[in-house]
Structure 1
Amino acid sequence: MNTAIFEGVWIPLVTPMTGANGAQIDRIAFARLVDFYLAAGVSGLVVAGTTGEGALLDHDERRWLVETACHLAQGHAPVLAGVGAADTSNAARQIASLDDLPLAGYLVPPPYYLRPSQDGILWHYRTLAAVTRKPLVLYNVPLRTGVTLSVETIRELASHSAFAAIKECDEHSLTHLPSQVDMRVLCGDDMQLLPALHAGALGCISAAAHVRPDLYLKLLRYTREGDMVHATMLFNGMKPLIRRLFAEPNPVAIKAALASLGLCPETVRRPHMPCTAALRKTIDAQLEVTMAF
């Protein structure tokens, strides 16, 4: 397994949508986004994850998105598919339905809503690892799942070759986990990106990087070179826009920003609601500042 690919700047792609309440996928816009981020030089793509409204996709939509991304990105960048469910058998079926595609692996949170014990989480991940030869990337996102992967659980999973990396979204863990576990750590909380990189994270899976992926690539380069002065100056300049992009449920504000840039419709699928006019105004104002960097 080439775990070295799980570093750098990864984009968790939004899913462009059209129609009443986001009923259809905008397939042309999706292909355009994939090409845009590949041209920007990002390290990898995540499809049908949280930012991609993965929980609102049906089987055929998920399959089309992942297959299209793999086709367009092949030879350019690896692709992860988001796989999440409260029911382990459901998550296993999702993996089985995608496993013939040339994926780099699967981004998998623990079962959400149920709040299982750590033993239950271990069972969930081991069961999923048994249905594929592709690597799994752990996804610790307590705000959405209601449960936290403990350091002990992560260490246990890290001892098995099936588990290649972790997307860590817990603010406290991001500045400690890289030194606590023998596993590649990717930052999943944009506001904690610089502290996480300084602590040893090898990259990020960043929703806000949709807007200026070049700034994220530059930030990563500065930290790798040990240039924390320029890294800090750049990150401080990025923070105001990052805050606004998460002021409403993800990916509502991300899509609004992409619409302002002419990259993607701002339509979201219900029960997500469109970006409020007040937030849209502040996003557009901050975009003018950030795009001038």
Structure 2
Amino acid sequence: MNTAIFEGVWVPLVTPMTGANGAEIDRNAFARLVDYYLAAGVNGLVVAGTTGEGTLLSDDERRWLAEVACHLARGHAPVLAGVGASDTANAARQIRALDDLPLAGYLVPPPYYLRPSQEGILWHYRSLAAGTRRPLVLYNVPLRTGVTLGVETIRELASHESFAAIKECDAHPLTRLPSQVTIRVLCGDDMQILPALRAGAAGCISAAAHVRPDLYLKLIRYVREGDMDHASTLFNGMKPLIRRLFSEPNPVAIKAALASLGLCTPTVRRPLMPCSTALHKDIDAQLEVTMAF
């Protein structure tokens, strides 16, 4: 397994929506976004993840996003597909429906809502791994799932070649985890990217990297070169916009920013609601600052 691809800046693509209440995917806009981030030089793409409103997508929509991204990105960057469910059988079915595509693997959270034990989490991941030859990227996001992947659980899964990396979204273990586990750690909390990189994280899966992905690539380059002064200065300048992009449920504010940049509409699928007018104005003001970097 080539785990080296799980590093650098990965963008968890939004899913552009159109129609009443975001009923349809804006297919032309999605293809444009894929091309845009490939041209920016990001290291990888994620489709149908949290930022892509993955839990609100049908199986056919998830399949279409993965097909298009794989086709456009082939030879340029790897693509992960987000899959997940409370029910292990449902998550396995999602994987089977995509397993013929040239994906780099699957981004998979623990079963959400049920809050299973660590033993149950291990069973879930092992069951999914048994049904595919593609790698799984663990996704620790306790704010959304209600359960945390313990370090011993991560170590146990990391001992099997099916598990290639972990997207860690819990701010508390981010600066310790890279030294505690053998698989690659990708930062999933945008406000913790620099501390995580300093601690040895291999990169990030960053929703905020939709805006100025070049700054995230530069940040990682500074860290790799040991230029922490420039890294800190750059990251401190990025923080105000990052805070605003997560002031309302993800990806509401991300889509508002992309709309202001002319990359897609701000439409989200219900029950998500559009970005508030006040936040959108605040984002636009901060975008002027960030775009001048």
Q: Normalized against structure 2, the TM-score is what?
A: 1.00
Cross-structure match for 1:132? 132
Deviations 1:235-276 (A, max 9, x none): 000000000000000000000000000001100000000000
Deviations 1:31-76 (A, max 9, x none): 0000000000000000000000000000110100000000000000
Question: In the alignment, does 2:181 pair up with 1:157?
Answer: no
Q: What CA deviation, in whole Å up to 9, does each residue of 1:206-237 have, x standing for no partner?
A: 00000010000000000000000000000000
Letter of the structure 1 residue corresponding to residue 215 of structure 2:
L
Distance 1:95 1:122 in 2: 17
Matched residue count: 293
Query: Which residue identity lines up with residue 169 of structure 1 in the other structure?
Result: C
Give the alignment's Cα RMSD to 1 decimal: 0.3
- For 1:111 and 1:265, how far apart are their aligned partners in 2? 31
Q: State the match for 1:38 in structure 2.
A: 38
Matched, 1:194 2:194: yes
Could you tell me how far apart the structure 1 residues matched to 2:264 and 2:214 are?
A: 18
**Identity rate of aligned residues, in percent?**
85
- Residue type of the partner of 1:188? G
- Structure 1 match to 2:120: 120
Q: CA deviation at 1:151?
A: 0.2
Q: Which runs of 5+ in 1 are unaligned?
A: none
3-state SS of paired residue (2:4):
helix
| Other structure's SS at 1:38 match | helix
Give the secondary structure class of the aligned counterpart of 2:166: strand
* Separation in structure 2 between the aligned mates of residue 264 and residue 176 of structure 1, nearest angstrom: 37
1:231 aligns with 2:231: yes
Structure 1 segment 106-117 matched on structure 2, within 5 A: 106-117=106-117
Q: Distance in 1 between matches of 2:206 and 2:274?
A: 21
The question of 1:249 aligning with 2:249 is answered: yes
Correspondence for 2:9 = 9
Matched residue, 1:280: 280
3-state secondary structure, aligned to 2:139 = strand
Deviation at 1:277, TM superposition (A): 0.3
Partner of 1:47: 47
**Alignment correspondent of 1:89:** 89
d(CA) in 2 for partners of 1:163, 1:61: 26
Task: Measure the CA separation in 1 of the matches of 2:103 and 2:189.
Answer: 24
Structure-2 separation of matches of 1:173 and 1:95: 29
Moved over 6 A (4+): none
Question: Is 1:28 aligned with 2:28?
Answer: yes
Within 5 A, what are the aligned runs for 1:173-212? 173-212=173-212
By how many angstroms is 1:174 displaced?
A: 0.4
User: For 1:10 and 1:121, how far apart are their aligned partners in 2?
Assistant: 25
Deviation at 1:125, TM superposition (A): 0.1
Match of 1:218 in 2: 218
Unmatched 5+ residue regions in structure 2?
none
> What does 1:262-273 align with in structure 2 at a 5 Å threshold?
262-273=262-273
